[in-house]
Amino acid sequence: MILKQKNLKTIILSLPKKGLNLILILAALLCTYSCNNNNQSNVSSDQVDLLDENTVIIPEDFPSFYAKFHVDPEFQLNSIQFPLSGKAPDEKWTAESWEIHKPFNDTGEFKRDMENIAGIITETIMDNNGMFYIVRRFAKLGEDWKLIYYTQGTNLDGFVPED
């Protein structure tokens, strides 16, 4: 018995018409699926990801700004929109009263959340018990990122310790 090697063209041409249609449909579906996956991976970093509501899209230049903000005190001071406002009307920081912020260290005692709403990056850092927090908002003003809002506080409002 002699076995003949068949190539793909020979196999496709020897299929009944229904089988050929099925292969063409599967190839079209595969191509469509492949094109859709490529489009999803090309989402710009400053666009909202509508596919996963838990995904926060951070602009490409923000992580390098954020890292430098925490290690270079002069850069940090120059990257703050002074006087810096906070939650309360009288909550204002000046360059003279500002304490340099250090990098966030994930020791497990605090959790950090970031949101991007219309290009404003809001960072919330809270202790695991939910009692103490800071909120910072960063926005791109012109070509540069700036800290535009800062507040710190406690969720113990109204708590008065007994003497």
Q: If pLDDT is split at 50, 70 and 90, which confidence band does 52 have?
A: low
Question: SS3 for 125?
Answer: strand
Q: Which of 157, 9, 5, 153 is nearest to 91 (CA)?
A: 153
Q: 3-state DSSP call for residue 61?
A: coil
Average confidence (pLDDT) over 120-149? 95
Is domain 62-154 given the CATH code 3.10.450.410 in the classification? yes
Task: Please indicate, yes or no, whether the overall pTM of this predicted structure exceeds 0.75.
Answer: no
What confidence tier does 156 reach under pLDDT thresholds 50, 70, 90? Answer: confident
**pLDDT at residue 107, as a whole number:** 82
Reported as a single tens digit per residue, the pLDDT across 95-108 is 999 999 998 887 88
Beta bridge partners of 134: 125, 152
The rounded Cα 105 to chain-centroid distance in angstroms is 18
Distance between first and last Cα of the chain? 102
Predicted pLDDT of residue 160: 52
Three-class secondary structure of residue 126 per DSSP: strand
**Degrees, nearest 5: CA angle 148-88-120:** 25
**Helix or strand or coil: residue 5?**
coil
Question: Mind listing the pLDDT tens digit for each residue in 10-27?
Answer: 444 444 555 545 555 555
| Per-residue pLDDT, 123 | 96
